[in-house]
Amino acid sequence: MAFRHKSVAVLIKDGVKNSNERLEFLGDAVLGSVVAELLFKLYPYKDEGFLTEMRSKIVSRANLNQLSRKLGFNEMIEFDARMISYPNKQGSLLGDAFEALVGAVYLDKGYTFTREFLLSRIIKPHVDIQTLEVTETNFKSRLIEWCQHNNKEISFVQVDNPEGESNKMFSVVAVVDGEECGLGRDFNKKSAEKIAAERACEFLKIFEE
């Protein structure tokens, strides 16, 4: 289930499909918690802004996509083969599957096991935190510059949260020329905008330019 994309999902009940989207939602929260704790302990004298920026770098779609390829997840994901002809639709497919796997492990083994699994098998051997610390990844600025260069309108719009999601969470959509290109959610509005910008960059294939 963790590797089943919504493009090949089957409706099971009350409009819910048996895709990895629900697991992705759960995995996103678990991964964010594990990374936040790691950074809190790793950088005892850094402020909230720095920690938030570092967390964003580690859990960014670009980084999770890269991790997924390194771990061979791209060979396991079930998705509609027609998506190959539309690269823009593939943007966050790998990163979404990574988060869905985290959600599945959490449901099966619990938080403690998942935390150790992520730290010992994924983050420590495959994520160079020191390099990320000095890497500039301002996706919002990059998206705005791209839009200016290509004469496109860009705006970040706050939207209502999905039913059942905490009201403390901010949901922001990056809108380019009237098209919704990326959704970001976080407890901090600026962080939500950064996530939306990153996903818009993925959707628009700006990383490859």
Query: Which residues are marked as active site?
Result: 28, 99
**How many Å separate Cα 17 from the centre of its chain?**
20
Cβ-in-10-Å burial (0-12, 13-18, 19+) of 81 comes to exposed
Q: Where are the alpha helices (DSSP H) in the chain?
A: 21-42, 48-58, 61-70, 93-109, 111-117, 124-126, 129-133, 139-149, 189-203
- The token pair at 14 is 């009350």
Residue 115, both tokens: 């935390």
Whole-angstrom CA distances from 25 to 14, 31, 141, 185 are 18, 10, 26, 11
- The SS3 call for residue 83 is helix
